A and B are shown apart, each in its own frame.
Chain A
Amino acid sequence: MQVRETTVPELDPATDLDTTGGGGTTPPPPAPVPRARRAKISWTTRLEIALLAGPALLVFLAFVIFPIVVAGYYGFFSWQGYGPAVDFVGLRNYLTILQDPSFHEALLHNGIIAVLSLVLQGPVAILLALLLNRRLRGQSVIRVLIFVPYVISEVVVGTGWSLMLQTNGALNGLLENIGLGGLAQDWLSNPDLAIWTLMVIITWKYVGFAVILFLAGLQGIPEELTEAAAIDGASFWQIQRSITLPLLGPTLRIWAFLSIIGSLQLFDLVYIIWGQYVSSTAGTSTMVTYMVTNGRNAGSYGYGSAVAVVLFVISLVVALIYQRFVLRRDTEGALTGKGGKRG
């Protein structure tokens, strides 16, 4: 998309701001000191910038950035959540985490979930998006219905599915009714099955989001291309493989990024369906359930903070690697502020 530079020439503060070294990016209130030497107008502009961006930046720094910094601090203490943190333990929390077999298990589960999410949801969602991108009667109704599980809260999904999957629940009852009672399983607490059950639920819940994202991406592909290919005799699937999918690349890569990060952060569904104790025996514990179990629920806020830091570092490393090697070509120029070169 073409980015229009909005500069009105006589307002241009760019050269002027060189001297203040990016003063506009520090938390605006207190407003930047009017160091402008040449134009009064640039002082007003800066005030406006501070006024408009200030509140958002303040809230963002206070509730997103600051807590992460605080976590780094409390991670070095053995702290029960009240009074000042005095019991400095250095790196002991981190050593405990990294040596704890149940953390290793949780990390492994997160990895499995991340990979399986991509493998299961990706192809299904692409197929559905391609099908739904064609002319269909009732297309918008279909789209709403596919998106329904995504809109329902994790708590509702977890409560509903766990009732349905109990040993005497609806799924086993249904299998019984259609004469397949032999297939009835303990879907939730059998350690061989539980992670697959979780994957089915995750796929069910989040595939709609992928479909909607892909549909949005598909609509950005010029119809002329596919029409030209069709005139040249390409089949529907040939067109999808050679034209649509490559052009959908950026959307796919963004989705995969969101999916991986989401998998690393998975908590609600597991915690609601399995609870803190069953999740580790059933093999569905995740890093965040580990954090809540051993941090807040155990009253060890210092330890919980340390787990948060580990989780954060893992997510950050994954995100940076992904951005460096996969997203790079998509975001090039997007973050430099002169993004007009794209599109």
Chain B
Amino acid sequence: MTATIASTPAGRTSVAADRLDGSTGRRRRGRPRHPSKGKAPLQRGNALVYFVALVVIALMLAPVAYIIVGGFRTNSQITVDPAGLPNPWNLQNYIDVITGGVFWNQVLNSTIAAVVTTFGVVALGLMASYVIARYEFRGRGVLYSVFAAGLMFPMTVAITPLYIVVKSIGLMNSLGGVILPQIAFALPTTIIILVPFLRAIPREIEEAAFIDGCSRLGFFWRMVVRLAMPGVITVGILAFIASWNSYLLPLFILNNEAGFTLPLGVQAFSSQYSVDTAKVLAFTSLSMIPALVFFSLFERRIVGGLTGAVKG
């Protein structure tokens, strides 16, 4: 395992980058590009592999497609044939949702919550991880264990008292009351993923920076943040998506409709318009777009970051 991690930061990054596109990177290093003799039996199995992959993808996407395509139908179409395709395609549901103010208000709330949570998690998590990874002091292991133990306490367990705490500091019905707990509960994962990244920064760089008169904090700001970028992006995306999708906490904290985030909005919308199935489908499919786009842009980073964490 050790062997695959190069010892310079540049090497570390490039290994991570290699790993992003999966086995292709390994292949490039591991064996010559031209097909060798051993590849023949693999070739034969490939048709089966593709078939399985296609079936799986179809199963994975069918419900999503049902939501998106269903939004293009009318309620009478849905009633007559629940499993049919739009005929004709009907844009009205989507137009109604997009031109209504409710949807955009919730998009704004969700965006604020997700962006602030992400920056908070990354900033606090990076600083704490730096201490755990690169400072030598008694209690470092305890500090790490305290955060790691947080993995065992998902938000569901603490939700009732958390609600009471948020209420008593006057953050009910405000996004702050959602953001702060989200940051706190995202810290364990963040720290567990970031610590190996920070440990992998070679000591030589640090020493060179110190010799050049850089303080430890200066080293942190100037070098660490940049060198840990792959890990930072991974935890940032995970935090963003978790916040974007979060339901239980906003359910407890946000009580008036103006402050709703999208998940609460989707649920409120679907109970309010429970007879208007087509519109509910349109609203639902619009609400999942941002997370999907965000994820597909950064998917390779997530896999890269997880690889680092699993190996670390």
Contacts and interface: CB of A to CB of B under 8 A. Distances in A.
B303 A216 contact: yes
A99 interface: no
Contact of A17 (B81, B138, B309): B138
B292 A140 contact: no
B138 to A, nearest CB: 4
Contacts of A146: 56-57, 60
A156 B67 contact: yes
Interface stretch (B89-97, B147-155, B225-233): B147-155
Nearest to B312: A1
A7 to B, nearest CB: 4
Contact of B82 (A5, A52, A168, A223): A168
Contacts of A156: 67, 263, 266, 284-285, 287-288
Contacts of A170: 66, 70, 82-83
Contact of A52 (B130, B146, B310): B130
A17 B302 CA distance: 38
Contacts of A48: 131, 135, 216-217
A59 B157 contact: no
A95 interface: no
B2 to A, nearest CB: 5
A192 to B, nearest CB: 23
Contacts of A304: 160
Given A13-B137, A64-B185, A156-B266, A151 B295 contact: yes
A63 B281 CA distance: 35
The main secondary structure of chain A at its interface with chain B is: helix
Contacts of B311: 1, 220, 343
Nearest to A323: B152
A111 B151 CA distance: 20
A217 B288 contact: no
Contact of B199 (A1, A74, A169): A1
Given A316-B152, A319-B152, A343-B1, A140 B299 contact: yes
Interface stretch (A22-30, A100-108, A113-121, A277-285): A22-30
A183 interface: no
A161 B67 CA distance: 9
Chain A contact residues (Cβ within 8 angstroms of B): what range? 35 or more
A196 B186 CA distance: 31
Given A60-B150, A217-B310, A67 B1 contact: no
Contacts of A259: none
Nearest to B120: A59
Nearest to B110: A153
Interface in A142-163: 142-149, 151-157, 159-161, 163
A171 B67 contact: no
Given A159-B270, A216-B306, A308-B157, A204 B60 contact: yes
B150 A55 contact: no
B213 interface: no
Nearest to A18: B138
Contact of B136 (A12, A68, A71, A168): A12
Contact of B19 (A25, A155, A161, A219): A219
Contact of B26 (A2, A149, A223): A223
Interface string A196-240: 000000001000100011011101101100010011000010000
Contacts of A81: 164
- Which interface residue of B3, B140, B191 has the most chain A CB atoms within 10 A? B140
Contacts of A191: none
Interface in B12-31: 19, 21-24, 26-27, 30-31
Interface string B120-141: 0000110110111111111111
Interface in A32-69: 45-46, 48-49, 51-53, 55-57, 59-60, 62-64, 66-68
Contacts of B41: 236
A261 B31 CA distance: 41
A147 B299 contact: yes
A12 B136 CA distance: 7
B128 A53 contact: yes
A140 B142 contact: no
Nearest to B245: A153
A265 interface: yes
A251 interface: yes
Given A8-B207, A139-B23, A295-B160, A155 B247 contact: yes
A7 B136 contact: yes
A70 interface: yes
A131 interface: yes
Contact of A22 (B27, B131, B142): B142
B76 interface: no
B291 interface: yes
Contacts of B223: none
A49 B217 CA distance: 10
A305 B50 contact: no
A136 interface: yes
B88 interface: no
17 contacts: A24-B139, A55-B127, A60-B187, A67-B158, A70-B161, A71-B158, A140-B22, A142-B57, A155-B262, A160-B67, A168-B79, A219-B23, A230-B38, A288-B156, A292-B159, A305-B164, A311-B157
Given A52-B131, A220-B310, 17 more contacts: A51-B127, A53-B132, A53-B143, A59-B180, A63-B162, A63-B181, A71-B160, A133-B22, A139-B22, A143-B299, A159-B280, A160-B284, A163-B281, A173-B82, A236-B41, A319-B152, A335-B145
Interface of A: 1-8, 11-14, 17-18, 20-25, 45-46, 48-49, 51-53, 55-57, 59-60, 62-64, 66-68, 70-71, 74, 81, 128, 131-136, 139-140, 142-149, 151-157, 159-161, 163-164, 168-174, 176-177, 204, 208, 212-213, 215-217, 219-220, 222-223, 227, 230-231, 236, 250-251, 254, 261-262, 265, 267-268, 272, 288, 291-292, 295-296, 301, 304-305, 307-308, 311-312, 315-316, 319, 335-337, 343
